[in-house]
Amino acid sequence: MEIKKTSLQDAYLMTPKVFQDERGFFTETYSKKKLEDAGVIAEEWVQDNHSMSAVKGVLRGLHFQNAPYTQAKLVRVTKGSVYDVIVDLRKDSPTFGKWEGFTLTDKNFQMLFVPRGFAHGFMTLEDNTEFQYKCDNYYAPESEGGLMWNDSEFGIDWPIENPILSDKDQKHPSFNEFNSPF
Protein backbone atom coordinates (compact mmCIF):
# COMPACT_ATOMS: atom_id res chain seq x y z
CA MET A 1 0.00 0.00 0.00
CA GLU A 2 1.33 3.41 -0.97
CA ILE A 3 0.53 6.08 1.64
CA LYS A 4 1.18 9.72 0.73
CA LYS A 5 0.76 12.89 2.75
CA THR A 6 -1.67 15.37 1.26
CA SER A 7 -1.15 19.14 1.32
CA LEU A 8 -3.20 19.26 4.54
CA GLN A 9 -1.53 18.33 7.79
CA ASP A 10 -2.29 14.78 9.04
CA ALA A 11 -4.44 13.80 6.01
CA TYR A 12 -3.26 10.96 3.76
CA LEU A 13 -4.10 9.53 0.34
CA MET A 14 -3.67 5.77 0.10
CA THR A 15 -3.36 3.58 -2.95
CA PRO A 16 -3.50 -0.15 -2.24
CA LYS A 17 -1.84 -2.79 -4.37
CA VAL A 18 -4.41 -4.46 -6.60
CA PHE A 19 -3.90 -7.99 -7.91
CA GLN A 20 -5.98 -8.67 -11.02
CA ASP A 21 -6.46 -11.69 -13.23
CA GLU A 22 -9.19 -13.25 -15.36
CA ARG A 23 -11.26 -13.94 -12.21
CA GLY A 24 -11.33 -10.33 -11.03
CA PHE A 25 -9.19 -8.62 -8.39
CA PHE A 26 -7.97 -8.77 -4.81
CA THR A 27 -6.81 -5.82 -2.71
CA GLU A 28 -6.08 -5.14 0.94
CA THR A 29 -8.21 -2.14 1.93
CA TYR A 30 -7.03 -1.74 5.51
CA SER A 31 -3.94 -2.58 7.54
CA LYS A 32 -3.58 -1.03 10.97
CA LYS A 33 0.15 -1.79 10.98
CA LYS A 34 0.80 -0.15 7.60
CA LEU A 35 -1.09 2.98 8.63
CA GLU A 36 0.72 3.20 11.95
CA ASP A 37 4.10 2.65 10.23
CA ALA A 38 3.28 5.60 7.93
CA GLY A 39 2.37 7.84 10.89
CA VAL A 40 -1.38 7.78 10.33
CA ILE A 41 -3.01 8.28 13.72
CA ALA A 42 -6.56 7.12 14.38
CA GLU A 43 -8.36 5.58 17.27
CA GLU A 44 -9.84 2.12 16.86
CA TRP A 45 -12.42 1.98 14.06
CA VAL A 46 -15.86 1.48 15.65
CA GLN A 47 -18.36 2.07 12.84
CA ASP A 48 -18.54 1.37 9.09
CA ASN A 49 -20.94 3.36 6.89
CA HIS A 50 -22.07 2.74 3.32
CA SER A 51 -24.00 5.22 1.17
CA MET A 52 -25.40 4.99 -2.35
CA SER A 53 -26.20 8.03 -4.46
CA ALA A 54 -28.56 7.18 -7.31
CA VAL A 55 -27.55 9.97 -9.67
CA LYS A 56 -24.53 11.97 -10.78
CA GLY A 57 -24.24 15.36 -9.08
CA VAL A 58 -25.29 14.45 -5.54
CA LEU A 59 -23.28 16.47 -3.00
CA ARG A 60 -23.05 15.34 0.62
CA GLY A 61 -21.28 17.77 2.93
CA LEU A 62 -19.39 19.53 4.21
CA HIS A 63 -19.86 17.55 7.45
CA PHE A 64 -18.07 17.06 10.76
CA GLN A 65 -18.88 16.01 14.33
CA ASN A 66 -18.19 18.10 17.42
CA ALA A 67 -16.72 16.80 20.68
CA PRO A 68 -17.13 14.44 22.34
CA TYR A 69 -17.95 12.61 19.09
CA THR A 70 -15.29 13.98 16.74
CA GLN A 71 -14.44 11.47 14.05
CA ALA A 72 -11.52 10.46 11.90
CA LYS A 73 -12.58 8.63 8.74
CA LEU A 74 -11.08 6.32 6.17
CA VAL A 75 -13.14 6.76 3.00
CA ARG A 76 -13.30 4.97 -0.34
CA VAL A 77 -15.53 4.40 -3.36
CA THR A 78 -16.67 0.84 -4.08
CA LYS A 79 -18.76 1.66 -7.15
CA GLY A 80 -18.61 4.71 -9.40
CA SER A 81 -16.63 7.86 -8.61
CA VAL A 82 -16.65 10.99 -6.47
CA TYR A 83 -14.87 14.28 -6.08
CA ASP A 84 -13.95 14.15 -2.39
CA VAL A 85 -13.13 17.32 -0.43
CA ILE A 86 -11.61 17.83 3.01
CA VAL A 87 -11.21 21.11 4.93
CA ASP A 88 -8.92 21.54 7.94
CA LEU A 89 -10.89 23.15 10.80
CA ARG A 90 -8.23 22.82 13.51
CA LYS A 91 -7.34 26.33 14.73
CA ASP A 92 -3.76 25.43 15.66
CA SER A 93 -3.01 23.69 12.37
CA PRO A 94 -0.76 25.37 9.79
CA THR A 95 -3.35 24.33 7.18
CA PHE A 96 -6.38 25.74 9.08
CA GLY A 97 -9.11 26.83 6.66
CA LYS A 98 -7.47 25.18 3.65
CA TRP A 99 -9.11 22.54 1.47
CA GLU A 100 -8.00 19.84 -0.92
CA GLY A 101 -9.95 17.71 -3.38
CA PHE A 102 -9.39 14.18 -4.70
CA THR A 103 -11.03 12.01 -7.33
CA LEU A 104 -11.77 8.62 -5.76
CA THR A 105 -13.06 5.87 -8.03
CA ASP A 106 -13.77 2.16 -8.10
CA LYS A 107 -11.00 1.93 -10.71
CA ASN A 108 -8.16 3.74 -8.87
CA PHE A 109 -9.00 2.08 -5.49
CA GLN A 110 -7.67 5.15 -3.66
CA MET A 111 -8.69 5.86 -0.09
CA LEU A 112 -8.48 9.04 1.95
CA PHE A 113 -7.70 9.31 5.65
CA VAL A 114 -9.62 12.28 7.08
CA PRO A 115 -8.36 13.30 10.55
CA ARG A 116 -10.49 14.49 13.44
CA GLY A 117 -11.19 18.21 13.20
CA PHE A 118 -11.78 18.19 9.43
CA ALA A 119 -14.94 18.85 7.45
CA HIS A 120 -15.61 16.30 4.71
CA GLY A 121 -17.86 16.16 1.68
CA PHE A 122 -18.13 14.53 -1.70
CA MET A 123 -19.88 14.96 -5.04
CA THR A 124 -20.84 11.96 -7.16
CA LEU A 125 -19.46 11.90 -10.69
CA GLU A 126 -21.52 8.89 -11.85
CA ASP A 127 -24.97 7.43 -11.27
CA ASN A 128 -25.29 4.68 -8.63
CA THR A 129 -22.09 5.60 -6.79
CA GLU A 130 -21.38 3.71 -3.58
CA PHE A 131 -19.19 5.24 -0.88
CA GLN A 132 -17.88 3.52 2.25
CA TYR A 133 -16.15 4.87 5.30
CA LYS A 134 -14.71 3.67 8.55
CA CYS A 135 -15.16 5.96 11.57
CA ASP A 136 -13.25 6.02 14.83
CA ASN A 137 -16.24 7.34 16.78
CA TYR A 138 -19.97 6.72 16.66
CA TYR A 139 -22.42 8.91 14.79
CA ALA A 140 -24.17 11.28 17.19
CA PRO A 141 -26.87 13.52 15.66
CA GLU A 142 -26.60 16.02 18.52
CA SER A 143 -22.91 16.57 17.68
CA GLU A 144 -23.16 16.91 13.91
CA GLY A 145 -22.15 20.10 12.17
CA GLY A 146 -21.51 21.38 8.71
CA LEU A 147 -20.28 24.21 6.54
CA MET A 148 -21.66 25.68 3.33
CA TRP A 149 -20.53 23.57 0.36
CA ASN A 150 -20.05 26.59 -1.92
CA ASP A 151 -18.53 29.04 0.58
CA SER A 152 -16.55 31.70 -1.31
CA GLU A 153 -14.03 31.74 1.56
CA PHE A 154 -12.92 28.25 0.47
CA GLY A 155 -13.49 28.61 -3.27
CA ILE A 156 -13.84 24.86 -3.74
CA ASP A 157 -13.78 23.98 -7.43
CA TRP A 158 -16.64 21.46 -7.53
CA PRO A 159 -16.85 19.73 -10.94
CA ILE A 160 -20.66 20.13 -11.28
CA GLU A 161 -22.28 23.57 -10.94
CA ASN A 162 -25.76 22.76 -9.61
CA PRO A 163 -25.50 19.76 -7.27
CA ILE A 164 -28.33 17.85 -5.68
CA LEU A 165 -28.32 18.66 -1.95
CA SER A 166 -30.33 17.62 1.09
CA ASP A 167 -32.34 20.35 2.81
CA LYS A 168 -29.92 20.18 5.72
CA ASP A 169 -26.84 20.62 3.52
CA GLN A 170 -28.37 23.75 1.96
CA LYS A 171 -28.56 25.46 5.37
CA HIS A 172 -25.05 25.12 6.80
CA PRO A 173 -23.30 28.32 7.92
CA SER A 174 -20.41 29.96 6.10
CA PHE A 175 -16.84 29.66 7.34
CA ASN A 176 -16.95 33.32 8.50
CA GLU A 177 -20.01 32.54 10.67
CA PHE A 178 -18.31 29.45 12.11
CA ASN A 179 -16.31 29.41 15.35
CA SER A 180 -14.25 26.25 15.12
CA PRO A 181 -14.34 24.07 18.24
CA PHE A 182 -11.29 22.14 17.04
- Looking at residue 136, its pLDDT comes to 96
The fold of 43-170 is: Jelly Rolls (2.60.120)
pLDDT of residue 116: 97
pLDDT score of 159:
97
pLDDT of residue 65: 97
CA 182 to chain centroid, in Å, comes to 17
Confidence (pTM): 0.94
Q: What is the pLDDT at residue 113?
A: 97
Q: Are strands 24-27 and 144-146 parallel, antiparallel or unpaired?
A: unpaired
Q: What does the pLDDT read at residue 39?
A: 85
Give the pLDDT score at 115: 97
Domain boundaries, the chain: 43-170
Q: Taking CA 14 as the corner, what is the angle to CA 108 and CA 118, rounded to the nearest 5 degrees?
A: 115
Residues in CB range of 150: below 8 A, 6 or more apart? 156, 158
Task: Indicate which residue of 63, 83, 120, 172 is catalytic.
Answer: 63
- Exposure pattern of 74-103 as b/e (b: 16+ CB <10 Å)? bbbbeebbbbbbbbbbbeebebbeebbbbe
Per annotation, catalytic residue among 12, 83, 120, 133: 133
> Alpha-carbon distance 119 to 90, whole Å?
10
Q: Where are the beta strands (DSSP E) in 32-98?
A: 47-53, 59-65, 73-79, 81-88
Count CB atoms within 10 A of the CB of residue 139.
Answer: 12
133 is known as an active-site residue = yes
User: Hey, how many other C-beta atoms are within 10 angstroms of the C-beta on 133?
Assistant: 20
Residue 43 is predicted with a pLDDT of 80
Q: What is the mean pLDDT of each run of 10 residues along the chain (182 residues)?
A: 96 96 93 88 90 98 96 98 99 98 98 98 99 96 97 96 97 96 95
Cα-based torsion angle of the residue sequence 39, 81, 119, 28 in order, rounded to the nearest 10 degrees? -20
50 counts as catalytic: no
